[in-house]
Amino acid sequence: MQYNKDLTDALEFVWGEGILSPGGPEEVTQMLEGVDLSGRRVLDIGSGLGGIDVLLAAQHGAAAVVGIDVEPQLIESARHLAARKGLAGRVTFQLVKPGKLPFADASFDVVFSKDSLLHIADKRPLYAELLRVLKPGGWLIAADWLWSEGAAESAVVLAWLSKLQLKFAFTQPADALQALIEAGFAEPRVTDRRHELQEVNRNEVALLAGPVRQKLAAIVGTEMAESRLSSAKGRQAALDSGCLIPCYLRGRRPT
Ligand X SMILES: C[S@@+](CC[C@H](N)C(=O)[O-])C[C@H]1O[C@@H](n2cnc3c(N)ncnc32)[C@H](O)[C@@H]1O
Site for ligand X, rule CB under 6 A: 3, 19-21, 45-48, 51-52, 68-71, 74, 96, 98, 114-116, 119-120
Cβ within 8 Å of residue 69, ≥6 positions away = 46, 47, 48, 75, 78, 93, 95, 96
CB of 141 to ligand X, least distance (A): 12
Q: Which C-beta is closer to ligand X: that of 51 or that of 188?
A: 51
CB of 74 to ligand X, least distance (A): 5
Beta carbons within 10 angstroms of residue 122's beta carbon: 11
In the chain, which ranges are continuous DSSP H helix?
Answer: 5-15, 24-31, 51-58, 72-84, 123-133, 155-162, 173-183, 194-209, 213-220, 222-240
Q: Which C-beta is closer to ligand X: that of 188 or that of 246?
A: 246
Residue 37 and residue 14: Cα distance in Å, rounded? 26
Q: Which C-beta is closer to ligand X: that of 17 or that of 175?
A: 17
CB of 10 to ligand X, least distance (A): 12
CB of 48 to ligand X, least distance (A): 3
For residue 161, give the nearest of 74, 69, 243 by alpha carbon: 243
Q: Which C-beta is closer to ligand X: that of 19 or that of 91?
A: 19
Q: Which C-beta is closer to ligand X: that of 46 or that of 188?
A: 46
Q: Which C-beta is closer to ligand X: that of 122 or that of 149?
A: 122
For Cα atoms 155, 159, 162, give the angle at the middle one, nearest 5 degrees.
Answer: 135
Is there a contact between 32 and 7 (Cβ–Cβ < 8 Å)? no
CB of 98 to ligand X, least distance (A): 4
For residue 239, give the nearest of 207, 212, 201, 208 by alpha carbon: 201
CB of 167 to ligand X, least distance (A): 9
For Cα atoms 87, 104, 137, give the angle at the middle one, nearest 5 degrees.
Answer: 80
Q: How far is CA 27 from CA 115, 125, 248, in A?
A: 11, 27, 11
